[in-house]
Structure 1
């Protein structure tokens, strides 16, 4: 029998507000243990929380970015459980009236992964296990989170990977989080079940907790899918439970039986007021949203004639797309700008981290100036490429390396002389061309371009060389 994977995600994203969700402590990553906390965020008796307004605004931006509906009225609830990283024995979250309802993330195959809701909540502290002892660092406690809860719409590991990557990309674009999984600012709980292909009935699910690597998510899902299929085919049954993933052994193991909402005894938090979001506030936030990557990619393809693959590379990170937009202002051929970025500049920003920061020596205005010289016919492509390399090395503008004589072009006599020189000094290439090797002409044209420092017109040079060879 063939089985189908069914998965849904609960994705926790730490918001990049300067202070925590219910107090004034910093949200800065790192620091000495327990140095970024106060009586409010560790829940000492007698303290009262006060909701950070920016947390709500950041969450609204997230909701708008994934096509969700912003609730005019939402409320905070207490989720009760005892665990060492939660000092007050409850987490302030949302269950009954979350801030955002619905929404979706569209995949490249056209499928839309539906979202059930997005809610705001506080993060817990962090447990550190060393030499058989366990330490608690509450610096992370009270850092604001949104939790994005999807429907069980994911049907493959590739879809799961793309879903997480697209969420990460969109949340970075709108500036609400750096989504650095290695630092815990984006973490995923993966709910996974299997069912016979063609069946509409959902199987019993397990939940793999706190995944902070896309590669590990893929490995854990593959292992858990095969484990559940093997269990069913050998007459067993899947038990609803919470699992941890061990990347050293590439296995999952049980942490505890899976809880449902009633196990947490949710109730309305009595210390926090109802959240009211007027429609004009939503419209104000919407008006300030940046262009989303999917929309920008379509614009590059439809309006700027950028090939789809190149458009995807240019829009993967917001800083690259903003650089491209500025460098394109007033140019005749945006494709030329794209070629310079994806070719020469990307070779200098090899890693994904480099591309995300995109701190290059050449400003978009300097690249714009170079491309306009090329557009106007004052310089040729070879000279433009060579000049860009010098600009990347030095951070200087194009005119620091291009003289007036470089922009003067070649008169006909000078071009004729260079073409004659190329033919006379490369007899083998001439012979190869006469014997039918069309590519040989390119080496002769290259000789002219080199000796003219890129000033010659390559098409005209090729024509003249062919005349000389006869």
Structure 2
């Protein structure tokens, strides 16, 4: 892998496989999270009975007319602003004609001639978190609004295929990239960046398993410097892992064809994850095959500049800017800031904790959120939210630790955090459960109440601690002699005995200090 050019924003790298240059472009179909469909009032909820959410407009019955949902326009403008794009203040709808059972009208309403979002870009980090990570700017050709088709449901047992039109008319924004990616890793970094952006902006839930975020990857290879090769399209990839695997398999397939003096045909490909292979589904159509023409039922959309200005003013701080602010304002490392801005919800949570304990202890808040708290979500396989432990609760817990008067021990604080999390997680999702620690806890208790109920107050009175230390020294003459003889481990043993004698309530720093003083 060779670095070719560099700038403040981009490090361009070309990846060659067996002497060939890989060229990848991505089309992302992202469902916009409006309550109703793009041209009808039918709901967009996922998981309902087949054909229970398809209106007469979605079914394309004679005489019905589409009415544009203004919410999809607002969401598309947010995306365009988020990717630094030219906005199509004059945009139109077209008909894309093809026949398929799940397309009841015989055409799809889309934007071909005048899309709502023009050229833009997004900055990504390739191989993020690894030693060979590098930044790259990916171009976006356009993003346009369109309606989704229905879904064909194949029943292998019955040998039949049904058509579910619940998705028909669901609002999509199709995001078309420039062919700027040169490896599966770069394609994956781009897709993850778009996924983060649409969820951050709150315009889509982007749940891949539910089909609300789908990727088509156009892959070709060429000799360095030659014209673009014939591309194939990997269709409807529905997980990050499968995207990377599918692209790598397709690169290998195309190289094998060319090395055998064959010719790569333009085609739509399917990826079989069980066999880890790609195969041809159908030969690929060109734009002319779809006979695009302006939709006579929909007027052009003219967007006033004041509408754009109001949407821009209401935009949230974007991930890159927030990451930079976390580093500057809170003194966090680039790694910490990147983790904490992995989602807008996590970033908001962290800032709420900092607001509780003070900016001077932001690093402590970061360590607890990234470490102990996220570990619990991973352990119990939960998506992050403030449902289980509120930022106010965690802030109060951390305040108790750093309190100068009777601070809470870190071990006890972790017990409280785990218990509070498990109380929510286990009771909500299970009828039988067992807490990790047997401490008295009732949902709604504040931290001080929990500390008092469980006798977790830390002893900081020097005289009281000294008395316990003296008693431990008197009872552990062998360990004392071992320490004085040079065995440092013996000291840790004595500290453990003091903490045991105080039932964990003695301040550890004071225990260490007094013990060293008394041992000479």
In structure 1, the residue matched to 2:376 is 348
2:188 matched residue in structure 1: 161
Q: Is the 8 A contact 1:391 1:398 kept in 2?
A: no
SS at match of 1:116: strand
Partner residue of 2:121 out of 104, 112, 116: 104
Distance 1:429 1:205, change over 3 A: farther
Bigger mean CA deviation after superposition, 172-181 or 375-384: 375-384
2:3 corresponding residue in structure 1: none
Structure 1 132/387 Cα, relative in aligned 2: closer, same or farther at 3 Å? closer
Partner of 2:12: none
Post-superposition Cα deviations, 1:93-133, rounded to whole Å, max 9, x if no partner, equal 01111001122221122101110011000000000111322
Report SS of the residue matched to 1:70.
Answer: coil
Task: Sort the Cα spacing of 1:408 and 1:87 in 2 relative to 1 into closer, same or farther, 3 A.
Answer: closer
The residue aligned with 2:362 is 334
Q: Is the Cα contact below 8 Å between 2:409 and 2:458 reproduced in 1? A: no
- Alignment match of 1:69 (pick from 86, 89, 93): 86
Residues 76-108 of structure 1 deviation map (CA, whole Å, 9 limit, x = unaligned) = 111111111111111000111100112222112
What SS does the corresponding residue of 1:148 show, helix, strand or coil?
strand
Where does the alignment leave 5 or more consecutive residues of structure 2 unmatched? 1-17, 126-133, 424-440
Deviations 1:2-42 (A, max 9, x none): 22221111000111100000010011112111111122111
Deviations 1:156-208 (A, max 9, x none): 11222222222112111111111111111111111001123x42532111101
Q: Deviations over 1:329-365 (max 9, x none)?
A: 15230122222222332232116961344521x3211
Residue pair 2:460, 2:510 contacting (<8 A) in 1 also? no
Unaligned runs of 5+ in 1: none
Counterpart of 1:189 in structure 2 is 216
2:56 matched to which residue of 1?
Answer: 39
Contact 2:147/2:169 (CA < 8 Å) preserved in 1?
A: yes
Q: Distance in 1 between matches of 2:383 and 2:475?
A: 44
What is the SS of the residue equivalent to 2:348? helix
Equivalent residue, structure 2, for 1:400: 449
Alpha-carbon contact 2:145-2:173 (below 8 Å) kept:
yes
CA distance in 2, matches of 1:145, 1:402: 51
C-alpha distance after superposition, 1:378-421 (max 9, x if no partner) = 31442433443444444332011224996685222112123234
Query: Is the contact between residue 388 and residue 398 of structure 1 (CA under 8 Å) also seen in structure 2?
Result: no
Report the CA distance shift for 1:376/1:191 in structure 2 as closer, same or farther (over 3 A): same
Match of 1:314?
340
Worse-superposed segment, 127-136 or 340-349: 340-349
* Deviation at residue 310 of structure 1 after TM alignment: 3.0
1:29-81: CA deviations, max 9, x gaps?
12111111122111112111111000101111122222222221111111111
TM-score with structure 1 setting the length: 0.93
Alignment-derived partner of residue 518 in structure 2: 468
Q: Secondary structure at the match of 2:79?
A: helix
Report the Cα distance in structure 2 between the residues aligned to 1:163 and 1:353, rounded to whole angstroms.
Answer: 26
The 3-state SS of whatever aligns with 2:378 is coil
Aligned residues: 468
CA RMSD of aligned residues (A): 2.3
Report the Cα distance in structure 2 between the residues aligned to 1:460 and 1:146, rounded to whole angstroms.
61
1:378-389 correspondence to structure 2 within 5 Å: 378=405, 379-382=407-410, 383-389=412-418
